[in-house]
Amino acid sequence: MSSAAMTVVIGFEGSANKIGIGIIRDGEVLSNPRRTYITPPGQGFMPSDTARHHRAVILTVLKEALEQAGLKPADIDCVAYTKGPGMGAPLVTVALVARTVAQLWGKPLLGVNHCIGHIEMGRLITKANNPTVLYVSGGNTQVIAYSERRYRIFGETIDIAVGNCLDRFARVIKISNDPSPGYNIEQMAKKGSQYVELPYTVKGMDVSFSGILSYIEEAANKMLSSGQCTAEDLCFSLQETVFSMLVEITERAMAHCGSQEVLIVGGVGCNLRLQEMMGVMCQERGAKLFATDERFCIDNGAMIAQAGWEMFRSGQVTELEDSWITQRYRTDEVEVTWRD
Amino acid sequence: MSTDGETDHKTGKLEFSLDVPFPSSSEASIALRSLSPDREPRRGGISKRLTVTGNTLRWSADEARILRVSVNSFLDHLSLVLETMETFGPPVDSGI
């Protein structure tokens, strides 16, 4: 391949309730359409229903991705898709289409780690040099730093993700899931005026959220019906508590690595209060904070395309027989061949 | 498409086979390679064999209890692969 040739990668993402397909050409996002499966208030999304949702729209979204980019299948160099981690049934649905079009179009296939998709998109958009990464979403909570060809996990949740804690609290107080429960908690939190003390659980480099969730699930009904506080107060207090925990473990990792940059990725990274709190800590340390907007924080196809672009350019390819999806896939399992 | 269900009286296991005709052998092969990589969610009790003979994709499984769920999933997946091939096919000629 000549150095003047451009590399175009299409990426397929559908590991949770978002189905997105994006096309990237040498760092330029040409298209990034996405659909979200939204459940009624009080309900979470189940694997088979989510897979059914993705199944119904995926081919339409794929056509949109090509049309919006103004490209034909022949223009694509590589088909990237999420190998894992995530929910099994939705992952399979998306992988089936990726495998099929890769064969129909005669293009190489690349299985991408979802977490690395977030990291590489964050690096591309923000141009952060070598940041400590806080990856926070409904399914994942990790503090990551790059070292010697691996994205090393410095700290993580020992039980549920911070986004999962927020989403499940939203169900208890029956907040709308449109556009996302986390977004609605954030809006309500802005109207909170009373801080309610909640359990704070940091364990060394790690965090735990299941305790705070069970506490607030039980306390919410009591406190709300007795008029002790409002739902807005609880949203505010929950955010302040869990976000403080995240800032603490991020700072700890920065101190270990001597890092002067923080990059927040993942759906919870859209939260402006989290960005604000992290910003305060960064300012105190003379560090820089990087974050992306909802187009790229929230699961999307272009982030898979971007990670795929890096992997493909450094010579990686996934054979069809090895293209099985996996619900568990650690960020540090991948050899980061595209960085020194 | 033709199907067959019978019980192997020696082992007591239920076998189900499904023959899916395709317009060409390359398309049968594409479907096979898309459908075979993922492992069954349940480790024990179900085994799936996908083979291509000419233009026909054959799928056979044994184990009665969760056979219906496995067959259902497979048919959903197969229909998605077929729809993808109808929408974005035919396959490019990969001959040099």
Q: Is the pLDDT of residue B64 over 70?
A: no
Cβ–Cβ below 8 Å for B88 and A73: yes
Of A59, A93, A320, the CB nearest to B87: A59
Q: Check CB contact under 8 Å for A104 and B90.
A: yes
What band does B44 get if pLDDT is binned at 50, 70 and 90? low
Q: Is 80 exceeded by the pLDDT of residue B1? A: no
Residue B39 pLDDT class (50, 70, 90 cuts):
confident
Contact B84 A105 (CB under 8 A): no
Q: Quick one: pLDDT at residue B52?
A: 77
Q: What's the pLDDT tens digit per position in A119-141? A: 999 999 999 999 999 999 999 99
Q: Determine the distance in angstroms separating the CA of B64 from the nearest CA of chain A, rounded to an integer.
A: 22
A322: closest CA of chain B, how far (Å): 7
User: Does A1 score more than 60 pLDDT?
Assistant: no
- Mean pLDDT computed over A148-170: 98
Indicate the pTM of the whole model: 0.94
Question: Per mean pLDDT, which range of A41-45, A193-197, B10-14, B67-71 is the poorest?
Answer: B10-14
Q: Write the pLDDT tens digit of every residue in A282-331.
A: 999 999 999 999 999 999 999 999 999 999 999 999 999 999 999 999 99
Residues of A in contact with B96 (CB under 8 A): none
Q: Are A311 and A112 in contact (CB under 8 A)?
A: yes
Lowest mean pLDDT among A271-275, A280-284, B6-10, B54-58: B6-10
CA distance A60 to chain B (A): 10
ipTM field: 0.91
CA–CA dist A334, A316 (Å, integer):
11
A256 assigned binding-site residue:
no
Q: How far is the C-alpha of A318 from the C-alpha of A298, rounded, in Å?
A: 25
Whether chain B has a CB inside 8 Å of the CB on A108: the answer is: no
Paired residues of B5 in beta bridges: B16
Going by pLDDT thresholds of 50, 70 and 90, the confidence category of residue B61 is low
CA distance B16 to B68: 10
Long-range contacts from A34-43, C-beta under 8 angstroms, 24+ separation = A34/A61, A34/A298, A34/A299, A34/A300, A34/A301, A35/A61, A36/A179, A36/A180, A38/A177, A38/A178, A38/A179, A39/A177, A40/A177, A41/A170, A41/A171, A41/A174, A41/A175, A41/A176, A41/A177, A42/A171, A42/A174, A43/A171, A43/A177
Interface test with chain B among A66, A75, A87, A99, by most B beta carbons within 10 Å: A99
Percentage of the residues of chain A whose pLDDT score is greater than 90: 98
Mean pLDDT of chain B: 76
Chain B CB within 8 Å of residue A327 CB: no
A323 touches chain B (CB under 8 A): yes
Q: Of B38, B76, B88, which has the smallest distance from its Cβ to A104's Cβ?
A: B88
In tens, the pLDDT along A21-61 reads 999 999 999 999 999 999 999 999 999 999 999 999 999 99
Chain A neighbors of B35, CB-CB under 8 A: 96
Percent of chain A with pLDDT over 70: 99
Task: Give A78's pLDDT tier (boundaries 50, 70, 90).
Answer: very high
What would the two tokens of residue A133 be? 């990464």
- Which run of H or E residues covers position A296? helix A294-297
For residue B11, the model assigns a pLDDT of 57
Convert the pLDDT of each residue in A174-227 to its tens digit.
999 999 999 999 999 999 999 999 999 999 999 999 999 999 999 999 999 999
- Say if residue A53 carries a ligand binding annotation: no
**Euclidean distance between CA atoms A28 and A269, whole angstroms:** 22
Mean per-residue pLDDT for A91-96?
98
B33–A324 CB contact, under 8 Å:
no
Residue B63 has pLDDT above 70, yes or no: no
Cβ-based contacts of B84 with chain A (< 8 Å) = 59, 96-97, 100-101, 104
Residue B53: the pLDDT is: 77
Higher pLDDT, B26 or A58: A58
Nearest residue, CB atoms, A101 vs list B77, B88, B94: B88
In A, which residues are within 8 Å of B33 by CB distance?
99, 103, 320-321
Q: Do A73 and B87 touch (CB under 8 A)?
A: no
| CB-CB contact of B3 with B58 (8 Å) | no
Contacts of A305 (CB under 8 A, 6+ apart): A9, A10, A11, A22, A23, A24, A80
With 0-12 / 13-18 / 19 or more C-beta atoms within 10 angstroms meaning exposed / middle / buried, residue A103 is buried
| Closest to A161 (Cα-Cα) out of A182, A184, A177 | A182
Q: Residues A188, A175: contact at Cβ < 8 Å?
A: yes
Closest CA to B75 of B45, B31, B43: B31
Q: In this complex, is the C-beta atom of A103 within 8 Å of any C-beta atom belonging to chain B?
A: yes
Minimum CA–CA partner of B35 in chain A:
A96
- Among A95, A104, A324, whose Cβ lies nearest the Cβ of B30? A104
Confidence at residue B56, expressed as pLDDT on a 0 to 100 scale: 66
Please tell me the predicted confidence (pLDDT) of residue A239.
98
The pLDDT value given to residue A3: 47
- Axis-axis angle for helices A210-225, A162-172 (nearest 10): 20
- Cβ contact (<8 Å) for B37 and A101? no
Q: Per-residue pLDDT averaged across A97-115, rounded? A: 98
Cα A339 → chain centroid: 21
